[in-house]
Amino acid sequence: MNLKIKNALISVSDKEKLTSLLKVFKKFKVKIISTGGTYKYIKKQGYNCLELSKYTGFKEMLDGRVKTLHPKIHAGILHDRNNKKHKTEMSTEKFPSLDLIIVNFYPFQNIVMRSKNPKNIIENIDIGGPTLVRAAAKNFKNVTIITSKNDYKDLAHELNSNKGKTSLNFREHMSAKAFGLTSYYDAMIANWFNKSLKIEFPDRKTIFGKKFKQLRYGENPHQESSIYINDYDDKNLGLKQIHGKELSYNNYNDLFTGLEILESLKGKNVTVVIKHANPCGISVNKIPIISLKHALSCDPLSAFGGVVACNFKINKKIAIELSKIFLEVVLAKGFDKESLKILKRRKNIRIIDISKFKFKNNMYIKSFSGSFLVQNRNDKIVKMRELKCVTKLKPSKKEITEIELAFNFCKYVKSNAIVLCNNSSTIGIGSGQPSRVDSCKLAIQKAKKFQPEKIKNSIAASDAFFPFVDGLELLVRAGVRTIVQPGGSIKDKEIINYANKAKIRMLFTGTRNFYH
Query: Could you tell me if 513 and 410 are in contact, meaning their C-beta atoms sit under 8 angstroms apart?
Result: yes
Q: Which residues pair with 33 in a beta bridge?
A: 9, 50
Buried b / exposed e over 315-335, threshold 16 CB at 10 Å, is: beebbebbbeeebbbbbbeeb
Q: What's the chain's Rg over C-alpha atoms?
A: 31
Q: Helices 288-298 & 436-450, crossing angle to 10 degrees?
A: 120
| Active-site annotation holds for 138 | yes
Query: What backbone torsions phi and psi does residue 455 show, to the nearest 5 degrees?
Result: -70, -40
Query: What backbone torsions phi and psi does residue 240 show, to the nearest 5 degrees?
Result: -105, 110
Cα 126 to Cα 36: distance, rounded to the nearest angstrom? 16
Cα 499 to Cα 483: distance, rounded to the nearest angstrom? 9
- Residues, the chain, total? 516
**Catalytic choice (40, 149, 245, 276):** 276
Q: Which residues pair with 103 in a beta bridge?
A: 11
Helix, strand, or coil (residue 430): strand
Query: Could you tell me if 444 and 455 are in contact, meaning their C-beta atoms sit under 8 angstroms apart?
Result: yes
**Catalytic choice (4, 17, 138, 240):** 138
| Active-site annotation holds for 87 | no
Cα 256 to Cα 248: distance, rounded to the nearest angstrom? 12
Which residues carry out catalysis? Answer: 138, 276
